[in-house]
Amino acid sequence: MRIVVLLKAVPVVGNERLGAGFRLDRSALEANGSDEYVLEAALKLTEAGGGEVSVLSMGPAGATEAMRKALAMGAARGYLVSDPGLAGSCTLATGQVLAAALQRLGFDLVLAGADSSDGQGGVVAAAVATRLRLPYLSYAAAIEPGLDGASVRVRRISSSGFDVLEAPLPAVVMGTQLLGEPRYPTLRGIMQARGKEIVTWTLADLDIDPALVGEAAATTTVTEALPPPPRAGAVVVREPAAAAAERVAEFLVARRLI
């Protein structure tokens, strides 16, 4: 199975800084945590059933460093769409660019993480599936090949447990962290990543009209950005266990949480 994992290079978590025009400072990047979970699932699928995993990213040139970790984990190669004209693109444009890159690549399955640690829009995978007119299976907690070898089956988290969904390939699956912890790159993986290729494509390489992407064409604008408010004072219960349990229960009941 040819699997392409969408991987976003995000600002190092905890060091996010906003620059001019509410643009995130993307000078120090790392692989988006949620994407590493679906990469792990992709690697397990190909290890069990054969095939190859590629990672696809859109971002600045520095994104290759974040992609290198994916190669060290076991992805075979990386593709980065990078072009000055892409700066400030909205999620719709991002979906369009990734869809164009995916059409160029060819694939059986596209995997994407549930959200990114920076923008947290959580819509790019759906946008890609829509653009490509492919089945979109979201919030997967488990991914397995269908029995016929031409479909994919996922367990989707629902309010009452799991839904089991199946779709013909090719398809787009958005996965959650329930897929399982991503592996650490092994020393062998890190050293072998050196010999793996990261192909960089520009807008021209993908025949994308620059007028359709970037800040000028963005369908959304950020009007304000604020740091999160400081957390309200926590309630600390310091009574003996039995009494403390009652306090906690009362607290939760009052908020209709149990």
Partner 1 sequence: MSVRLTEEQDAIRQAVAELADARIAPRAAEIDASGEFPADVVELLARHDVFALGFPVQHGGLGADLLTHCLAIEEVSRVCATSGLIVAVQALAALPLHIAGSEAQRARWFPGMARGDVLGAFALTEPAAGSDPAGIRTRAVRDGDGWRIDGGKRFISQGSVADVVAVFAVTDPEASRHRNLSCFLVESASPGFAVSRLEHKMGIRGSPTAELTFDGVHVTDDRLVGEVGEGFRIAMKTLERSRPGIAAQAVGISQGAVDASVRYARERVQFGVPIGELQMVQAMLADMATQTEAARQLLYTACQEIEGGADDAARWAAMCKLFAGDTAMAVTTDAVQVFGGYGYVSDYPVERMMRDAKITQLYEGTQQIQRLVIARSLLSAQA
CB of 68 to partner 1, least distance (A): 6
Give me 229's structure tokens.
Answer: 């408010």
Q: Which is nearer to partner 1, 130 or 200 (CB)?
A: 200
Q: Applying CB under 8 A, does 188 fall inside the site for partner 1?
A: yes
Backbone φ and ψ of 132, nearest 5°:
-85, -5
List 11, 78, 95, 185, residue binding partner 1 (CB under 8 A)? 185
Q: Applying CB under 8 A, does 30 fall inside the site for partner 1?
A: no
- Mapping DSSP onto H, E and C, the string for 102-147 reads HHHHCCCEEEEECCCCCCCCCCHHHHHHHHHCCCEEEEEEEEEECC
Asked whether the beta carbons of 222 and 88 are under 8 A apart, the reply is no
Q: Which is nearer to partner 1, 133 or 188 (CB)?
A: 188
Interacting residues with partner 1 between 66 and 105 (CB under 8 A): 68-69, 72
Single-letter residue type at 30: E
**Total number of residues binding partner 1 (CB under 8 A)?**
13
Q: Which is nearer to partner 1, 11 or 185 (CB)?
A: 185
200 three-class SS: strand
Q: Applying CB under 8 A, does 28 fall inside the site for partner 1?
A: no
List 133, 194, 231, 255, residue binding partner 1 (CB under 8 A)? 194
Interacting residues with partner 1 between 40 and 69 (CB under 8 A): 65, 68-69
Give me 151's structure tokens.
Answer: 């479909």
Binding characters for partner 1, 139-178, by CB under 8 A (x = yes): ----------------------------------------
Asked whether the beta carbons of 92 and 216 are under 8 A apart, the reply is no
236 three-class SS: coil
Q: For residue 3, how many other CB atoms are within 10 A of its CB? A: 26
Could you list the residues that contact partner 1 (CB under 8 A)? 65, 68-69, 72, 184-188, 190-191, 193-194
